[in-house]
Structure formats: C-alpha cells, structure tokens
A and B are shown apart, each in its own frame.
Chain A
Amino acid sequence: MGSLKHEFIRGTALRIAMPWGLAEVRPAVLAVRAFLAEHGLNEEELGACELALAEACNNAVQHTPPSRRSRPIRLEAVLAPLAVELRVTDHGPGFDWPSRVELPEPERECGRGLFLIQALMDTATYLRGPDSNCLLMQRARAEAVVTEGSPVRTAVELERLLAADERIIRDMTDELSSCYESLAAIFRFGREQASQSGIKEFCRRLLEDLLRVTQSRWHILRLLDGGTGELSVFTASDPSLYLKPLQLGDLAMAGRSLELESVQSRRDVWFDQPGMLPPDDPLAVVGGESVGLVHPVYFGDALIGTLVVGGSAATLRLTAAQVNVIHTFSDFLAIQIMNTRYQEERVGALLVARELEIARHIQRSLLLRSLPEVGGVQLSGYCESSGQVGGDFFDALKISDTSMLLLISDVMGSGIPAAMFAVILRGLVRASVAWAAQPAELLGRVNRLLFAELSDVEMFITAQLVHVDLARNRLTVANAGHCPLLVAGEEGRAPRAISPEGMPLGVLPEPEFGEEVLPLESGLRLFLYTDGLTEVSSPDGSEFGTQRLADWLAGCARSRMSVNAMKENLLEELNRFRFDEPLRDDQTFLILSR
C-alpha cells in the first residue's frame, strides 16, 4: 500500500496510480473497495466492483510489455448518484476486445476475466488508443446515496457542495442545450438542403444560426480557391466584413493574420481577451474590444477555408460546449460545400457530355444520305469528326437536270454553337438556290443574313460554292475564306488551286466575293476539302500538306480513277501518313469527276 498514490477528486472520485505488477493489484483494488464502502455501496455491489476491477487490473498488468512497465496503471472510481463508474487506464499496446464475450470450455484454466467483468457490470467499454487504453465499467447503484454513516457537514460545507452541484447541473444543461441546438439546426438545414438554391445562402443561414446558438455577433467564412491559393470571403454577417482575399503563401501577411495562422497551424486561434487582435490584422476592423475564435475548416485533410466567429467580450462565452458547437457546424459546412462542389462538377461533366451528344447528332443530320445524280457527273464525299464535334460539312444540291450546287464549309468553333451554325448555313444556302448560278452573289446574301449573329458570338464560317453547269460545261467558283479547291485534268499537268477573293462569313458586313469560271472538261477531277485534311500530321510532326494532296490528285486524274476509289485511296494514304497519330481536326472532302 505504501507505493500507492491516492488523489481525491471532489470527494466523489478516487484516483490511484498503481505501479506495474500482479502483486500491486490486490492492495489497489482493496483501496477502491474501501472508498466505495465509505460511500455506502452494499456488500453485493462492493463484491462485484472489487472483482471486476481486479480482473481489469490483471489484464492491464498482463498486457503491458516490459518496455512500458515504468508508467503506472491508473485506477479511477467515480461515484454518481445513480451509478458507479470504474476506469482502468494502462499504457500497453492493448488487446482486441472480443465482439462477444463467452465462457471458455470448463476445462480451460484462463479466459474468464472479461466474462466476469461483463457479468458483474452493466456496461464495459474498452477504448484502445495509440498511447493508452482505457477500460470503462459502469454499474447502476442499488439505491440512492445513503446518508447513514456519512460525516456530519457544516452549513457552509453543504452550501459549497450545493453550489458545486448547481454549477455542474448548469454546465450539463448548457452542453445539452447546445448539442440540441446544433443537432436541430443541422437536421433542419439537412432537410432544406435538397431545396436550397445556392450553397452561399445555405452557409449564410447556417452561420446565422450558429451566431444565435453561441451568442456571437459576427462571422466571416472564407473559402479557399484551390487554383489561386486565395482565401476569399464567401459569407460574412455584415457587408463591412467582406475583407480582401488572403493569399495562402503570402509570407508578409502570415505573421499578421490570425486566419492565416490558423490555416498554417491547423489549429483554432483564439483572441479571447480584448486587444489580442494584432492591429494590422485585416480582422482588426471588428474593433479592439472584440473577442472570438478562428477555426480552420477542413474536410478530411483538404483545407476548405476559415471561419471566424466573434462578439463582444461582455456577452460572448466561448465555453467548451460552445466551441464544440462551432466545430460541429464547421464540419457540417465543410461536408455540404464539398458535396455541392462535387454535384456541380458532376452536372458540369454531364452537360458537356450531353452537349457533345446533341452536337454530334446535329452534325450527323447534315450528312447526305445520298449524293445527287446529274448528267454524267460522279460525286463522292467524306466527313469524319475528330471527336470534338466541329462544324465541318459539305452539301450537294441538284438545281436542274443539268446543274447542281456544291458547298463545303468549316464553321470555326466546336460543340453545339458550331453545329447550329452549320445547320443554319446549309438552310440558308438551300433557300437561296435561285442564286445558284451566281455563287458570289449567294455568298454575299448569306453573309448579310448571318453577319449579326456570327459577330455577336465572335464566330465565323469559311465556305466554298461551286456551281456545276453541264449545259454550258463550266464551273463557277466562289469562296469565303476557305482553302482553295483543286482541279486536275487527265492530261497529267499539276492541279490548279482555285481560290477567288473573299473573306469568311461573319467577318465584314458587306464584303466583296470574287468568282472564277472554269471549263468543265471530260476527265476533270475537282477536289473540295477543309484544311483539317492537309493538317493531318505524321509521327515525326510533318503535315500532309497541299503539295502531297496535289500530287495524289494528279495521279488519280491521270489514271482516271473513279471518285469512290479516290475516296478510299485517299483515306488509306492519310492513315498511312498519320500512322498512330490521333486525328486533331475533322476530315471533310468532296470529289467530283466528269
């Protein structure tokens, strides 16, 4: 007994530091038993507590390895009016408390300790920690505190005890009401969250509630922009508190801002006495008499922002319970903010995917199911999207039995807008076939109709029109900023690049479009394309280029290759050239032969 250290706490608790050793258990347990007997526990209760405590201490001793035996095992007995609580804290590695404690086989000599603890006590909770483990055991008392045998107390002592009890009850009530408030608020907000229009409004209202619960006057919630490292005010209780953003890495500011300090230390920073706010802290606008707390808001390991809650020194009581409420609210806020961000990202990704799908659908609708047949002219076309939907397309319209209009176009941009303009352009051109024989005039007309819309969204369209007139054996070409078309004859000369003057549609309100007229000779090969075709690159980085295209076309014309064979042949050429390089742009072309 001589080695035991006793410490009485408030007269209703006993704490004993027990040195390691099985022989130490019995005296320590007897000391606890004596303490409990003094406070009126009956024989049955004493026996139960004595044995449960002995078993707990034996376990603690047996599970402490030699390296940790210098630290004492702590025994505590706390007497509440309705229950007795026993705690044994050791510094060993602990053990796994079984999910079900059962009696071992009758013949086994050990393994009954935990069973006895559970049988003798009402609750047994084993808290295993990195540095210490605590076995917490409770047993309800048979009867309320017995006065028999307790020492006579003076009126002053009684008053003091009553005051202490009242203080405990008040603290407990506070804690309870705070917990209730935060739970109620969280449930209320949790329910409303589904119908919340914005996270900002949600945060503002939640924090208003927090101010009410904690009797604080003001708050500032800053959120971190992960991209810029800026902590900007998201919500504040007063317009004057929308302070300038703080920069995470701002060293000049680091020593002056309690908010940055809380982020760096990952701890609460208090200014709980008037005058503790540094005068050059941005927070100082709240006035030197203000007191409060800066809490860094984390979601797991991810910094979300900072929350400052403050008020006047006279009314703000930052008790442990209040601080708990602030932490609970802040954890809840962090979850909601992360949740909203995640939802936004998900919805954003869905919208992009949906937009691409719509755009692809539109682009597919532009593809001609069959090409018109006029006289002895053969047509073949190809339009392949590179994935990011662009605005490439071609059209071929039969005007009469001896004429048709070819259109190839590239709307600059991608997604739905590009696809929409492609549809509009095709519609306008189709509606303007009366001007088919004067393609320059037609382009001017379409430009007038589209200019306002295109320049509003800063888009433009390149296009090329070819009027094919079999009656007069000629081609009339007009161009709006599009790459030149190529013409090759079967005589084998180098193909000509035809590119009449003309700005893309949507650039100028009244541009001039030139026209060029070509003879439509037998054996001629006409090649219209968009520049995605010549920009196809090989693994070594070189482009397919117009020269290679011209050489290929000359070869096809010389050998009188059919347009369909030319299409297949060109695609093969391009794929061979590209090898395993991905397609970066759409590939669109239209071939005519006579």
Chain B
Amino acid sequence: MNIRLAIQGDTLSIGGIRELNAANANAFRDQIRSAMSDTLKNIEIDLSQAIFLDSCGLGALISLHKTACSRRGLVRLVNPAMPVQQILELTRMHRIFEIVKAA
C-alpha cells in the first residue's frame, strides 16, 4: 500500500490513502500498528484523497481506534471527501472518531 507516514510528537500521521476496502484494509491496519512505536498514542489519518471506504475499511479504522484508546490517545480523521464523510455519518462513526477539517 502506497501511503505516507509521518511522526509529529506523539502522533502518527498517515496520508495518501485512496481506498480502504476488503482487499487492503487488513494490510493497512497491520502496517499502521507496526508503525506505532511506544512513544506514539494518537493517529491522524488524512482522508482528503480517499475516494472509497467500505465496511472492511471502517473495521480497520475502528481497530486503530482501539489501539489508540489503549494508549490513552485518539484517532483523528482529517478532511474526509464527501462520499467518505457520508459513509462515516451513515454508520455513526463520527461519534467515535474526531473528524476535523483542516487547511
């Protein structure tokens, strides 16, 4: 999966995601988990490029949310595109993720 990872303090930032679906969700989840070194507790995912998210993708995001929670951190979803934003709202995921619009 061709994604960009960056570390800012205790936050792991992820960008370049185009799709999170049944075929790649588990790989994405495992890649992020292995990147979560002990000093990190928050996960920030840039979804501005994401055009497709299915229920397996949602599952991966929830799994990462649990990882962050276990470190007293959180998952922040940044600038989700409209279709993805709608899916998040439809499945009420906006209640557990922090969804932010950032420049």
Interface residues of A (CB under 8 A from B): 22-23, 25-26, 43, 47, 50-51, 54-55, 58, 61, 103, 106-113, 115-116, 119-120
Q: Which of B22, B66, B86, B90 contacts A107 (CB 8 A)?
A: B66
The answer for the CA separation of A110 and B83 in the assembled complex, in Å, is: 20
A-B contact list, 19 entries, CB within 8 Å: A25-B21, A25-B23, A26-B21, A26-B23, A47-B86, A50-B52, A51-B52, A54-B21, A54-B52, A55-B54, A103-B92, A106-B62, A106-B93, A108-B62, A109-B59, A110-B59, A112-B91, A116-B54, A116-B55
Task: Report yes or no: A112 in contact with B55, Cβ–Cβ below 8 A.
Answer: yes
Contacts of B66 in A (CB 8 A): 107
Is the CB of B56 closer than 8 A to any CB of chain A? yes
Task: Report yes or no: B92 in contact with A106, Cβ–Cβ below 8 A.
Answer: yes
Within 8 A of A (CB), among B5-35: 19, 21-23
Closest 8 pairs (CB-CB, A-B): A109-B59, A112-B55, A58-B22, A113-B55, A47-B83, A23-B23, A22-B22, A109-B62
Given A54-B21, A54-B22, A107-B62, is A116 in contact with B87 using a C-beta cutoff of 8 Å?
Answer: yes
Contacts of A22 in B (CB 8 A): 22-23
The minimal Cβ–Cβ distance linking B30 to chain A, given in whole angstroms, is: 13
Is the CB of B58 closer than 8 A to any CB of chain A? yes
Contacts of B79 in A (CB 8 A): none
Contacts of B93 in A (CB 8 A): 106
Contacts of B60 in A (CB 8 A): 109
Is the CB of B100 closer than 8 A to any CB of chain A? no
Please, what's the 1-or-0 string for B67-103, where 1 marks a CB less than 8 Å from any CB in chain A?
0000000000000000100110011110110000000
Contacts of A112 in B (CB 8 A): 55, 58-59, 91
Contacts of A106 in B (CB 8 A): 62, 92-93, 95-96
Task: Report yes or no: A51 in contact with B54, Cβ–Cβ below 8 A.
Answer: yes
The answer for the CA separation of A462 and B63 in the assembled complex, in Å, is: 100
The minimal Cβ–Cβ distance linking B75 to chain A, given in whole angstroms, is: 12
Please name the residue on chain A nearest to B93 by beta carbon: A106
Contacts of B62 in A (CB 8 A): 106-109
The minimal Cβ–Cβ distance linking A58 to chain B, given in whole angstroms, is: 4
- Of A51, A103, A107, A109, most buried by chain B (CB within 10 Å of CB) is A109
Q: Which of A54, A107, A109 contacts B54 (CB 8 A)?
A: A54
The minimal Cβ–Cβ distance linking A472 to chain B, given in whole angstroms, is: 115
Contacts of A109 in B (CB 8 A): 58-60, 62-63
Please name the residue on chain B nearest to A46 by beta carbon: B83
Task: Report yes or no: A55 in contact with B23, Cβ–Cβ below 8 A.
Answer: no
Please, what's the 1-or-0 string for B31-52, where 1 marks a CB less than 8 Å from any CB in chain A?
0000000000000000000001
Task: Report yes or no: B90 in contact with A119, Cβ–Cβ below 8 A.
Answer: yes
Task: Report yes or no: B19 in contact with A26, Cβ–Cβ below 8 A.
Answer: yes
Task: Report yes or no: A103 in contact with B91, Cβ–Cβ below 8 A.
Answer: yes
Contacts of B59 in A (CB 8 A): 109-110, 112
